[in-house]
Structure 1
Amino acid sequence: MNKLEKYILNGATIRQGPHQGETGATSNVTKTKDVTQRTGNGQAHSAALENSFSHLKQSLCDPAPKSSAEAFRCKLCPVDWLSHGRKCYWVSKEIKDWKGSQEDCTAKRSQMLMIQDWNEMEFIGSATQGPCWIGLHFSSPERKWTWLNNSSFDAKLFPVAGPAKENSCGMIKGSQIRSEICSADFKWICQKDGVFL
């Protein structure tokens, strides 16, 4: 059972941020809990759950284009997070050093931003103002830039401006990645996968 199913079965309130001029949409799905308790039947439980998903999609999601096989498919992000592609992004309003930024993302059950392509780079560049920490650091024994998850960094795709030396961390400013001393204070960006309905 996934997290969304648990929320539905427990009668949780699911929120999605402002959408098309609205101040926020809230759907209370406690009816599913009542139906499930009364039936005790696996098929009735599945039907009630499917009915709740259908209601959530209609209430919270934009209709997909008519050519799409999956009408009302959408991605949910936490309140105050930005949505793009398959990810959700959170941009801080305060400043911290790189380590403190990493700890904050972990506390939000996310990770610091790891940019994968130019489409994502352009989105982040337009969504942020000023420099922000990302999940990139210079590892001194290997003398190379590495993402936090230890995946390799493509320096040909994203050249890093500035010196690469011990205690250097990556930050983004506009559509450029720059090297900065890790103890400097900047805003930061966290990322997590969206929940698809």
Structure 2
Amino acid sequence: MSQGVTYADLRFVKVPRRESQEEEPNDGELTYENIRGPRTRGQEEEKKEEETPKEPEDARESDRRTWFTILALLATCLFLLATAIGLGVQYGQLSQQLQRESQNHAEQSNLLAQRLGTLEESLSGSQELLRKAERDLLLTQKALEESWRDGNRTQRQLGDQVRQADLNLTHLKWEKEQVERALGQATSCQQMGCCPHGWKIFRWKCLWVSPSSERKSWRNSKEACRARLSQLLILKPWSARELWDGVIARDEEPNEYWIGLRETWFGTKWVFTWVDGTPYEASERLSQRWDYQFGTLKSGIVSVDIEETPHPYICEKAASPEPPFPG
């Protein structure tokens, strides 16, 4: 057993340290290194590791943790750096995109502002046209209302005129009948001489012209005619000039005579009416100097005077045996 030298036995044989580096091993000593031959680099490193005293297990575990921590921190830093770089790139891209969008927005805003300005100008013009149209419409509406009122007023006036024309036509028909009847009677009276003594026949009426010495007030003249079964003269249907020239001017001296015309209050104004109640419709325009004026016949025209003034008078009655007119 002592003679059998194995590789395992030789491997653990340690060579004594040389005291000096200048000393070389004895070639005659038989050692493991001499037997094994020259060492390789790997074997030398292995030998160094074997010669290096082993550290405690806890220290190596702590070193590993420290390296792991450093690696984790380094990895975290690299991740954060990569994230920051990515965010920076994205921020740059977003900034460029936002800048482009801002430019587009500015351009669109300018276009919209221009369009808005154009629309505002158009709207202002439209509003002005609308106001003008409203004013024109208001004026037209007022004109239509005024025309409508004028039309209604004209219609009422036409209605009144038509009614008055109907009344006048009726009255003219009645007067025509009376004139025709009186004319017939006057013709027969002229043939028979039916006017009383002292009366003058004119057309179909018998007229009493008082002498100039017989002067009375208007009311007393009216009563004097009533006493003669007649009434004060009514100038219908002839004119004052026609009667004056036909009856008075040729026989009597020029004078002023009472006739059957008086001023009365009718509704809201003073009007002249004949004693039979019909309105005065002659062409002469009578002056209104006093209230309660009464008509006269003076030099072929109709005039007025106050009631108390004494004048001669003219009475009339139909040229027939019929009863006289009421006074």
- Quick check: TM above 0.5? yes
- Bigger share in helix: 2
Question: What is the Cα deviation at residue 92 of structure 1?
Answer: 0.8
RMSD: 2.3
Match of 1:99 in 2: 219
Instruction: Please tell me the residue identity of whatever aligns with 1:95.
Output: R
Of 287, 293, 296, 1:168 maps to 293
Of 126, 131, 146, 2:256 maps to 131
Task: Name the TM-score, length of structure 1 as normaliser.
Answer: 0.57
Task: Name the TM-score, length of structure 2 as normaliser.
Answer: 0.35
Question: What is the Cα deviation at residue 76 of structure 1?
Answer: 1.2
Conserved 8 A contact 2:240-2:302:
no
Q: Structure 1 unaligned runs (5+)?
A: 1-63, 65-69
Distance in 2 of aligned mates of 1:176 and 1:119 = 9
Aligned residue-pair number: 125
Give yes or no for the alignment of 1:81 onto 2:208. Answer: no
Higher Cα radius of gyration: 2
Of 129, 140, 152, 2:279 maps to 152
Conserved 8 A contact 1:92-1:188:
yes
Question: What is the Cα deviation at residue 167 of structure 1?
Answer: 2.0
Conserved 8 A contact 1:87-1:191:
yes
Distance in 2 of aligned mates of 1:123 and 1:148 = 18
- Bigger share in strand: 1
Conserved 8 A contact 1:96-1:187:
yes
Distance in 2 of aligned mates of 1:89 and 1:147 = 17
Distance in 2 of aligned mates of 1:73 and 1:126 = 19
Distance in 2 of aligned mates of 1:158 and 1:164 = 19
Distance in 2 of aligned mates of 1:166 and 1:73 = 45
1:1-197 superposed matches below 5 A = 73-93=191-211, 94-118=214-238, 121-128=241-248, 129-141=254-266, 142-154=269-281, 157-163=282-288, 165-195=290-320
Conserved 8 A contact 1:160-1:179:
no
Q: Which has the higher contact order (CA 8 A, sep 6+)?
A: 1
Question: What is the Cα deviation at residue 162 of structure 1?
Answer: 3.0
Q: CA offsets per residue over residues 49-91 of structure 1, 9 Å max, x none?
A: xxxxxxxxxxxxxxx9xxxxx8x84451000000011100001
Percent sequence identity over aligned pairs: 26
Conserved 8 A contact 2:202-2:247:
no
Change (3 A) 1:133 1:173: same
